[in-house]
Amino acid sequence: NAGVTQTPKFQVLKTGQSMTLQCAQDMNHEYMSWYRQDPGMGLRLIHYSVGAGITDQGEVPNGYNVSRSTTEDFPLRLLSAAPSQTSVYFCASSYSMHQNHEQYFGPGTRLTVT
Amino acid sequence: KNEVEQSPQNLTAQEGEFITINCSYSVGISALHWLQQHPGGGIVSLFMLSSGKKKHGRLIATINIQEKHSSLHITASHPRDSAVYICAVSPLLTGANSKLTFGKGITLSVRP
């Protein structure tokens, strides 16, 4: 199993550009989520999904869209990048939303918006 | 809003020392996770626990649900243990065990 994969690893955007961060898992996990990690702060939840076709907002959803058309993929879209979105983004997955299971994290995407 | 506090914020130890990292939280939880992040690297789950104690190699995690406190112990520390250690909890009130609330993490440096 590849686990949770993310692409790209690094990205530089100009303000106003759009892009999609890709996330995929091959463990047939129900729950997938996107976090951002900023210096001096804990990981913060952006959006999450409990299955194909079902998504919901987390703590910091503004400026981001998600969709989940398959169990495996959970892309994160930045519609119009802003410098405040400079961060490291992690995708994670877990077997179930409503039971206690280990969380698996992707390697992260380091995004800089200039 | 649940708050997860970790202490100390930064920690430096000498190789071979016994290290303790603490985590406290303010509401009822269904589980607590300890995660490890190496510099520039991804995040790896070390432990998930809801009671008692777990051990894996040189790492031991304990939790006291009544006191809302958990500790991560590293025995015979090694420079490769240098990393950020993150505590995260599943608050009972959310009804969603996978929606974690994270502490800020503790940066551990182990000197040879």
Q: Please say if the pLDDT value at position A43 is more than 80.
A: yes
Q: Please say if the pLDDT value at position B1 is more than 60.
A: no
Q: For A2-103, where are the E strands, in sequence order?
A: 4-7, 10-13, 19-25, 31-37, 44-51, 54-57, 64-66, 76-78, 87-94
DSSP at B51: S
Give per-residue pLDDT as tens, B66-80.
Answer: 999 999 999 999 999
CA distance B77 to chain A (A): 25
A105:B30 CB<8 A: no
HSE value, Cβ hemisphere, 13 Å, CA-based, for A70: 10
Q: Please say if the pLDDT value at position A30 is more than 80.
A: yes
Residues in Cβ contact with A81 at an 8 Å cutoff, skipping those fewer than 6 apart: A13, A14, A15, A16, A17, A18, A19, A111, A113
B2 — pLDDT class (breaks 50, 70, 90): low
Give per-residue pLDDT as tens, B20-57.
Answer: 999 999 989 999 999 999 988 899 999 999 999 999 99
Residue-level pLDDT at B43: 96
Report the residue from A43, A90, A94 with minimal CB separation from B98: A94
Mean pLDDT of A41-55: 94
Name which residue leads in pLDDT, A105 or B91. Answer: A105
Give per-residue pLDDT as tens, A51-102.
Answer: 999 999 999 999 999 999 999 999 999 999 999 999 999 999 999 887 888 9
Give per-residue pLDDT as tens, A6-25.
Answer: 999 999 999 999 999 999 99
Residues of B in contact with A106 (CB under 8 A): 42
For residue B103, give the chain A residue with the closest CA. Answer: A42
List residues of A whose CB lies inside 8 A of any B CB: 31, 33, 40-45, 48, 58, 90, 92, 94, 96-108
Residue-level pLDDT at B40: 81
For residue B94, give the chain A residue with the closest CA. Answer: A98
